[in-house]
Structure 1
Amino acid sequence: MKIAEFSVKNYQFTIIIFIMVLALGLNSLFNMPRGEDPTFKSPQFGVVVVYPGTSPTDMEELVVDPLEEKLNELDDIKNIRADIDDGLAVIRVEFTYDADPDKKYDEVLREINNSRSSLPEGIIDLHVQKFTPSDVNILQVALISETAPYKVLEKQAEELQERLEKIKSLKNIDTWAFPEQQVRISVDLGKMASYRIGLNKVLGAIQSENANIPGGSIEAGTKKFNVKTSGDYASIDEIRNTVIQSSGGQTIYLKDIADVNFNYENESYLARLNGKRAVFVTASQKDGMNIYHVRDQVNPVLEAFQKTLPATIQYEKSFDQSESVAHRLSGFTRDFAIAIFLVLLTLLPLGFRASVVVMISIPLSLAIGLALLDFAGFSINQLSIVGLVVALGLLVDDSIVVVENIARYLRMGYRPKDAAIAATRQIGVAVLGCTATLIFAFLPLMFLPEAAGDFIRSLPMAVVTTVLASLFVSLTIVPFLSSLILKEEAHEEGNFFLRGLKQLIGGSYRQLLNKAIAYPIATLFIALAIFVGSLALVPVVGFSLFPKSDKPQFLITVETPLGTSLYETDRIAREVEKVLNTKKGIKNYATNVGRGNPRIYYNVIQKNESANFAEIFVQLENMPPKEIEHFVDELRVNFTDYPNAKIQVKQFEQGPPIDAPIAIRIFGEDLDSLRSLAFKVEHIIKNTPGTIYVENPLTTLKTDLQVRINKDKAGILGIPVSEIDRTIRMGIAGLPVGMFRQDNGDEYQINVSLPRGNRQTMAAFDQMYVHSGTGTLVPLRHLADVQLKASPTIVRHYDKDRYVTVNAFVRTGYLTDNVTTEILQKLDTFDFPDGYRYMPAGELESRQESFGGLGTIVIVTVFGILAILILEFKTFKSTLIVLSVIPLGIIGAVLMLLFTGNSFSFTATIGLIALVGIEIKNSILLVDYTNQLRQNGMGLDEAIQEAGETRFIPIILTTLTAIGGLIPLVLENSPLYSPLALVIIGGLISSTLLTRVVTPVLYKLLPPRVEVAKEAAVLA
């Protein structure tokens, strides 16, 4: 290797490179973006349509079908889903993952805007929502007070919002959980009747008085003056003094027939922290920012704001993602220290000086790896750090092999510089081939499709960049340092540890290898039988996708029957709080009634307003994943079969967002038939062992109040139906008639309604009067009846077809894949009517998407590795012998997962793919050296024996360092990355033990053709 010779002879240049590399790595370490989870894009959008008074079927025909037809014409559509309810439709458009989210957002917006003119005129809202995974809140602050008015809490929350908005690294600063203030005009219909004033006259007077019509401008001489007219209302008193009617010398003002005051809109979202009334302020960070730098900017602002709060309001930072990131990264720092210590222990046989050289290569390789990772646009997050920890056990492999070979040349009598150059030249090609195959082994992981690929990509990228760096270091810096630091050993066989290891090899291993070579066929059959036996255990181990999160956080959702009031849902949420107050280990809990908790996890979307829904975000003190599972299971027992409510305790899941681990979509056109089939599928899922929280959205039908208008009577009295509808709207929800702007810029909606408290009751119908054509006010009860009526079924579309989804979660101790397989087997025997079908969704669908494009990448990888091996060895036999190590590693991987109770999860599969590259590295070293010995004239059996013994030490050392680097990941007991480490460790153990016998035996049976060097032939 010329590069090694250059680095040894030009030490000044090498030192400069050394310093520059270290500086570059330190710069990346301190300036790289930091976050808890990797970021990934999300090319999906929501189209929200509000069309009051429209039934789901009418909304489907008049609004959703035309919009779906337009949206379906766009390129790169993956699927279109729609949820259609009374007066509301939400259409979710998802594009293929490789689409540009910004470009597709513009396309959706363009199609929606072009469709507006063809949609019904009564639509009051039509907008497009953009879903961005990076919009996860990193901060949630609670302002707590049981006594302060919402007006005061709102003012303080908005003050904090304004302060946080000045921090350039933050975005999406929002305030939550307080009703907006409004100017409420509570009309007295009795007084209106006595003055013979209709509702239209009141509304028209207010709107005309509040009109702001510019007067234009006039010129006087050289001056130009803008003419200001009466303009908007300037005060509440002006609103009260609005002239409603003036006749016969009598003027009726608004204050004569109504009360005008500041008030609050109807409560639709209640929040508490640890059971105390609160409002929330949340913020997310901009893309590419370092969460520690953001924290350092935010904390002073929060501390300064806290000092300005009145005594009646308590401040608490209820959620701070930087604390979780700091805890996780500090844990990885500890793991790194442990891994480095374990790696150091494995280097003892090399001797102190050789160990120093190898240890110096670690920070250098990491520094270059970090710089390359930063250059590629990745951040420091939990998965990139796992990649660095995995790489720690691999990056020293090249250095160990080179240093061990240099030390061997020194024992052969070479001078330090000559030994460094000659030893590196001899093993350089093998090291290069090892690194190339390892990189190709990680290639499938770097190009995994969909969101799962983006989520995991920083892990293999961290490994690849660091291993590439270690190759560079091992062929440049390591020979240079070895030429300066290594000295000739006092003993020709090395230090005490090395001699002991050689004696062990010479004793047990030599005898075992001799027997194996004597009985090659029997040896291979034994190895094959072990491999086949391990494959038979794969179904027992089972499959899964992404595991539960190990974060000490979870959600409790409360769902009451459709139509339940907000305050009844709140009552049940308070019962949940009482249970939480009895539990130890809870850090805090945030209760949200009427809406989901503001978004705090990358794959959980906040649920929109719904009176029958509540969500409690619970944070625990730091505890191991198993304890978190036990805590959750205990709570599930507490809330099982709670009367008149579904209370579910859900841990966060890793990976791309899915509705539930198990989901079955049922397709068909008739809504009643769909509902019937949904009940039957729900029964099948409930009776499958391992399922929990089975959810069928069609279980209950919503009951509404319907006002049946006597149109004949209304016609006789000269009352338009629209006037009756408007009066009902005014009496129940209120009618917005404009905006009131104060001098400080604050805006408040002006709302005309009947007198009420916090909420309207059935008594409102008795207070409603409708203005007739003759000028009299007719009681609503004379024109209409109020009846209870079942609401039409919610209509859902998937790619324009009607469907319903039945979801389920999986109990602790069960594998999602096994439970799903059993459900699908039952559904396969279920007789669906013609025109009706089912489709599995949930984790199964996500797994198919995540691994769907993997086949092509694996084929490219396999041929890439084959190409590297053939280029290196020039023979197919040598390539086959090297690849024979792969099944031997699978044996240990399967057994390790079985013994530890883990399944073949997404990350365990990644570990298996990575294992292939690590195993091949060791096999290359053995086969390459055997070929070299034969080229030098040594006989076949002698070369096999010599290569097995000589390469045993570096292979054992590299294996032990890899295992040592991975042990901390196992001790973390993380459901995400511990299986990855276990697979690699198990595979390395089995492959190291078995290939030391199987590979030489296979070499004996299939000896590659080797050209003997001329000098060796002469000597022979």
Structure 2
Amino acid sequence: MKIAEFSVKNYQFTIIIFVMVLAIGLNSLFNMPRGEDPTFKSPQFGVVVVYPGTSPTDMEELVVDPLEEKLNELDNVKKIRTDIDDGLAVLRVEFTYDSDPDKKYDEVLREINNIRGSLPEGILSLEVQKFTPSDVNILQVALLSETAPYRDLEKQAEELQERLVKIKSLKNVDTWAYPQQQVRVSVDLGKMASYRIGLNKVLGAIQSENANIPGGSIEMGTKKFNVKTSGDYASIEEIRNTVIQSSTGQTIYLKDIADVNFDYEEESYVARLNGKRAVFVTASQKDGMNIYQVRDQVNPVLEEFQKTLPASIKYEKSFDQSESVSHRLSGFTRDFGIAIFLVLLTLLPLGFRASVVVMISIPLSLAIGLALLDFAGFSINQLSIVGLVVALGLLVDDSIVVVENIARFLRMGYNRKDAAIEATKQIGVAVLGCTATLIFAFLPLMFLPEAAGDFIRSLPMAVVTTVLASLFVSLTIVPFLSSLILKEEEHEEGNIFLRGLKRLIGGSYRRLLHRAIARPITTLLVALAIFVGSLALVPTVGFSLFPRSDKPQFLITVETPLGTSLYETDRIARDVEKVLASKKGLQNFATNVGRGNPRIYYNVIQKNEAANFAEIFVQLKDMPLKEIESFVDELRLQFNEYPNAKIQVKQFEQGPPIEAPIAIRIFGDNLDSLRSLAFQVENILKTTPGTIYVENPLTTLKTDLQVKINKDKAGIMGIPVSEVDRTIRMGIAGLPVGIYREDNGDEYQINVSLPRGKRQTMKAFDQMYVSANSGALVPLKQLADVQLKASPTFIRHYDKDRFVTVSAFVQTGYLTSNVTNEILAKLDNFRFPEGYHYGAAGELESREESFGGLGTIVIVTVFGILAILILEFKTFKSTLIVLSVIPLGIIGAVLMLLFTGNSFSFTATIGLIALVGIEIKNSILLVDYTNQLRANGMSLDDAIQEAGETRFVPIILTTLTAIGGLMPLVLENSPLYSPLALVIIGGLISSTLLTRIVTPVLYKLLPPKVEVQPVAA
């Protein structure tokens, strides 16, 4: 090829290109963004509606239905899911994945604002939330103290927050797990009754005294002055001295009928680290940042902050994602070293000088590949590095083929420059075709749809950019270096390793190939039988989407019955902590009672406040995946039978977020019928082997206290029902009546309530008095009875239809796909009433979404590869012979997964697709050379025999380098990317062994038409 000739003859220019490429690659390596996982967008939003005192059915009719109707009118809506509870509705709107999240957020906000005026007036709040996967916290620190008041912990947490906010690479710096301070006005209803002061008068007095009404401005001469009025409360003492009533010479102040002090709101979220009381400070990094650079900016701030802490408060970093990234990337650095060493071993038959040429091509190809990856906007993360490791075994293929051919020409008597030019010319088209087919094989992976596609895309992109770089290097730098480094006086048979390899070929392969060509039909039938047999094993191997994460981290969730108090849930969480504290291998554990742990994993969303929920984030010391799974299984066994609580130990899952690996949605209108069906489906899941943590949200109904007001009696006494409701609210939760601002800018809510401890009890009802129009205070128990009542069933919508989801996780050792198929078979035989049906969600739905758009891409890829092969060979027969290698690689891929106990996961499927390109690459070399020999006048049988033997060496070497490059990924034993490497290795072994026999045999049965070149006179 002319490009090779140019590079050999213009060595100064080639050297300049060499240096520039290396410099650009190193610049990309040091400056590219780094992170643990790839980032991907999420065009989905939450609409949260708070409408106190509204039943789920009323909320559905008055609020949810109009909102869903309005949101459904937007373009590209994929689905709308809604959870409706007492006084609360949460709508989740998801748009098609190709939608712009920012534009869709503006559209949702606009529609909500448009409809707000037509919704009921009593709605307390209506807000739109934006979900961003990149908002995962990279840092979680704890401030610990068993004795310091929450006010001191809050002050220190906010101080650290202020320092971290100033770091430009951080965003979403938040503080967690302390109750807000407030000014509590604890009224004495007995004293109010004696003074005949109603609740309205107290509330009105506080609100009027705390009003800040600007007085305007006046002019005096040439100057203008603003007039300040009495303004807000300036101190707690001023609040105490608020005049409530003044008559007949007697003034009643607020302090005469109430205690006014700083206090905390009722605790709704309690946190601990390693069993010690804590508040948390978290932060996430901005998009496109290098986590190492962020760490270098954050650590000095944290170290300086620790020096300012009082002795009563301790600091501890509970989670630092940069440590995990550093550990993972250092592991990949080690893998790279191992891979390069193994690749070097496989190059021994080429000789030392040829090996040096090939080894130089590695950093050059990686440098160009990294620069292209950086230019395309990708980061260095675990998947892009896996792509680079995969590419390491492939990028030397082109260089090996070119160098081996140049060395062969040198042995034929050519000088170094002529050998470099002529050998590259001979093999150049085949190398170009090989690389093009390999890139086309990776195209489906580069254009996978949905979040799964975004999650995995950096892997195939890293392979494609590096392989493209290797093509450029092999056709320019490699011929140039070969013309300088390789020796002209080579042994006719090559070095000792090459001679030994050729003897092995001559002693076994030649005879085997001769026999196969003599019996072509028998050979093909045997190969077909092996292929069919391997396909029969596919159901045994099974399918899965994304595997569990191999990170030494997991979550323990504690769920107590609905209506359980926060303190009872906390008691159970402490029991879990005791068990954890007795285990070896723990790094730390962060306990969150009343709320989920702040978000620390890309597909796990923090659970909102719930008194009956607790979550413990557990981090282990570094250990193999099998030990992590054994640790988790042991804990599951211990917590399985815990009384009156559901304790679940869950490992993190890879891939896009799903509610559970197995999830069954049941649709229908009648809530009672849905509940009945949910119990029956729950039983099906529980009786299916392999399921664990079967979840039916309708198992129990919440019991509430209902205050039943005697409206007739209240009417006779002149007491409005709204006044009764407000008194109850004041007595239980308190009534906010204003804001108290201190001079330093701190704000505190003023809350009027009954005297109380940390939490309110049933005694509160005995202390409540309601104001009558006459001014008298009537005991609440004279107007109302307090009764226990089951609350209405909560309601869920999926695209405006009522539904309920029954879900389950999968036990260790079981395949999700097999368990799901068994459940679906049972459900297909289950008779649902008319108007009711089920739909499968969970991993099955995610798999269909992830691979749903793959069909068109695969068709384009197949035709693209066919077009390349036809352009190169110009005959359909040659194309068919090349493609015959594909089923032979599938044999090894299936067997390798079966023997290693892996399934056809998402990444294993990626390995299978990549395998197709690698196999075709090797097959092209064989068919192309056979055609060349026949074109030069050699007979069909002799050309097949000669091509098989001559191309055996470069094919064996490229296969061994690919396997050597992939072996570290296998040794990592990662559930995410080890199956990918195993599929390629297994496929390469079977295709390399079988194709060397099957392809020549098929070539003999379907000999392509070749024009014989005229012999020069």
Within 1, Cα distance between the matches of 2:10 and 2:640? 74
Give the deviation of 1:197 after TM superposition.
Answer: 0.5
* 1:724-739 aligned within 5 A: 724-739=724-739
Counterpart position of 2:53 = 53
Deviations 1:72-126 (A, max 9, x none): 0000000000000000000000000000000000000001011110000000110
Partner residue, 1:248: 248
Q: Which runs of 5+ in 2 are unaligned?
A: none
Distance in 1 between residues matched to 2:641 and 2:807, nearest whole Å: 18
Show the 5 A alignment for 1:150-549: 150-549=150-549
Pairwise CA distance, 1:774: 1.1
Displacement of 1:547 after TM fit? 0.2
Structure 1 consecutive aligned stretches of length 4 or more whose deviation exceeds 6 Å: none
- SS in structure 2 of the partner of residue 1008 of structure 1: coil
In the alignment, the residues of structure 2 paired with residue 288 and residue 422 of structure 1 have an alpha-carbon distance, to the nearest angstrom, of: 46
What is residue 881 of structure 1 aligned with on the other side? Answer: 881
User: What CA distance in whole angstroms lies between the structure 1 residues aligned with 2:49 and 2:410?
Assistant: 79
1:752 maps to 752
Q: 1:175-233 deviations in whole A, cap 9, x for unaligned?
A: 00000000000001011111110000000000011111111110000111011111111
How far apart, CA to CA, are the structure 2 residues paired with 1:127 and 1:311? Answer: 41
The one-letter code sitting in structure 1 at the alignment partner of 2:173 is: I
Equivalent-residue separation in structure 1 for 2:489 and 2:650 (angstroms): 62
1:960 match: 960
2:788 is aligned with what amino acid? Answer: L
**Residues 18-40 of structure 1: per-residue CA shift (max 9 Å, x gap):** 00000000000000000000000
Q: Distance in 2 between matches of 1:374 and 1:985?
A: 29
Q: CA deviation at 1:489?
A: 3.8
Matched with 1:69 is 69
Query: In structure 2, what is the Cα distance between the partners aligned to 1:132 and 1:631?
Result: 32
* Cα deviation, residue 491, structure 1: 1.3
- Aligned twin of 1:768: 768
User: Which residue type is aligned with residue 656 of structure 1?
Assistant: P
Counterpart residue identity of residue 454, structure 2: D
> 1:431-482 CA deviation, whole Å, 9 max, x = no partner?
0000000000000000000000000000000000000000000000000000
Q: Tell me if the contact between 1:553 and 1:619 (Cα under 8 Å) persists in the aligned partners.
A: yes
3-state SS in 2 of match to 1:1014: coil
State the shift of 1:850 in Å: 0.2
Secondary structure of 1:1015's partner? coil
Shift of 1:490: 3.9
> 1:318 aligns to what SS in structure 2?
strand
* Aligned partner of residue 705 in structure 1, secondary structure: strand
Q: Quote the residue 1:806 is aligned against.
A: 806
Amino acid of the structure 2 residue aligned with 1:118: S
Is the contact made by 2:549 and 2:652 (CA closer than 8 Å) also made in structure 1? yes
1: distance between equivalents of 2:865 and 2:490? 41
Give the whole-Å Cα distance in 1 for the aligned partners of 2:831 and 2:1005: 57
What's the Cα RMSD here?
0.5
Is the Cα contact below 8 Å between 1:184 and 1:262 reproduced in 2? yes
Question: Deviation at 1:493?
Answer: 1.0
With normalisation by structure 1, the TM-score equals: 0.99
Structure 1 distance, partners of 2:756, 2:17, is 78
SS of match in other structure, 1:234? coil
Are 2:78 and 1:81 equivalent residues in the alignment?
A: no
Secondary structure of the corresponding residue to residue 708 of structure 1: strand
- Alignment partners' CA distance in 1, 2:1015 and 2:484: 32
Distance in structure 2 (CA, Å) of the matches to 1:521 and 1:817: 38
> In structure 1, the residue corresponding to 2:331 is in which secondary structure?
helix
Secondary structure at 2:283's aligned position in 1? strand
In the TM superposition, 1:696-715 aligns within 5 A as 696-715=696-715
Matched with 1:835 is 835
Query: What SS class does the counterpart of residue 84 from structure 2 fall into?
Result: strand
Q: SS of the residue aligned with 1:97?
A: coil
Offset, 1:249: 1.1
Q: Distance in 2 between matches of 1:420 and 1:493?
A: 19
Partner of 1:1014: 1014
Deviations 1:24-74 (A, max 9, x none): 000000000000000000000000000000000000000000000000000
Could you say if the C-alpha distance between residues 74 and 490 of structure 1 is closer, same or farther in structure 2, counting changes exceeding 3 Å? closer
Kept in 2: contact 1:50–1:123 (CA 8 A): yes
8 Å Cα contact 1:489/1:495 also seen in 2: no
Q: Secondary structure at the match of 2:1015?
A: helix
Report if aligned partners of 1:361, 1:474 keep a CA contact under 8 Å in 2.
Answer: yes
> What residue identity is the alignment partner of 1:844?
L
Partner of 1:852: 852
Asked whether the 8 Å contact 2:217–2:225 carries over to 1, the reply is yes
Contact 1:143 1:314 in 2 (8 A): yes
1:253-283 CA-to-partner distances (Å, cap 9, x unmatched) read 1111100000000000000000000000000
Contact 1:3–1:475 (Cα < 8 Å) also in 2:
yes
Alignment correspondent of 1:796: 796
Give, in whole Å, the separation in 2 of the partners of 1:906 and 1:609.
34
Separation (CA, whole Å) in 1 of partners of 2:825 and 2:102: 42
Asked if 2 retains the 8 angstrom alpha-carbon contact of 1:140 and 1:281, the reply is yes
SS at match of 2:409: helix
Task: Report the 3-state secondary structure (helix = DSSP H, G, I; strand = E; otherwise coil) of the residue aligned with 2:707.
Answer: strand
Displacement after TM superposition at 1:773 (Å): 1.2
Question: Match of 2:982?
Answer: 982
Equivalent residue number for residue 722 of structure 1? 722
SS of 1:597's equivalent in the other structure is coil
Q: Separation in 1 of the partners of 2:63 and 2:163?
A: 42
Distance between the aligned counterparts of 2:370 and 2:774, measured in 1? 83
Q: Name structure 1 gaps, 5 residues minimum.
A: none
Output the CA distance in 1 between the equivalents of 2:674 and 2:998.
Answer: 59
What's the counterpart of residue 557 of structure 2? Answer: 557
- Contact preservation (8 Å) 2:410, 2:490: no
CA deviation after TM superposition for structure 1 residue 492, in Å? 1.1
> How many Å separate the matches in 2 of 1:402 and 1:58?
75
Residue aligned with 1:843, SS = helix
Q: Secondary structure at the match of 1:332?
A: helix
Alignment partners' CA distance in 1, 2:489 and 2:338: 30
Q: Distance in 2 between matches of 1:480 and 1:108?
A: 60
The separation in 2 between residues aligned to 1:876 and 1:2, in whole angstroms, is 28
Structure 1, residues 734-787: CA drift from partner, whole Å, max 9, x if none?
Answer: 000010111101000010000001100000000000011111100000000000
Q: Measure how far apart 1:918 and its partner are.
A: 0.2
- Name the amino acid aligned to 2:565: S
1:631 counterpart = 2:644: no
C-alpha separation in 2, matches of 1:783 and 1:826? 55
Once the two structures are superposed, residues 403-424 of structure 1 have per-residue CA deviations (whole angstroms, 9 ceiling, x without a partner) of 0000000111111011100000
Query: Aligned pair count?
Result: 1017
Contact residue 662 and residue 841 of structure 1 kept, 8 A: yes
Which letter maps to 2:750? I
Please say if residues 959 and 988 of structure 2, whose CA atoms lie closer than 8 Å, have aligned partners that are also in contact.
yes
Counterpart CA distance in 1 for 2:642 and 2:823 is: 26
Distance 1:641 1:793 in 2: 27
Cα distance in 1 for partners of 2:394, 2:340 equals 12
Query: Does structure 2 conserve the Cα–Cα contact (< 8 Å) formed by 1:346 and 1:960?
Result: yes
Matched, 1:782 2:787: no
The answer to whether 1:100 aligns with 2:100 is yes
1:1015 deviates by: 1.7
Q: Shift of the alpha carbon at 1:369?
A: 0.1
Query: C-alpha displacement at 1:488, in angstroms?
Result: 1.9
Return the alpha-carbon distance in structure 2 between the equivalents of residues 775 and 541 of structure 1.
80
* Paired residue secondary structure (1:287): coil
1: distance between equivalents of 2:728 and 2:597?
Answer: 33
TM-score scaled to structure 2, two decimals? 1.00
**Counterpart code for 1:852:** G
User: Which secondary structure state, in structure 2, belongs to the residue aligned with residue 648 of structure 1?
Assistant: strand
Residue-by-residue CA offset, 1:891-926 (whole Å, 9 max, x unaligned): 000000000000000000000000000000000000
Aligned partners of 1:801 and 1:641: how far apart in 2? 36
Q: Distance in 2 between matches of 1:5 and 1:147?
A: 79
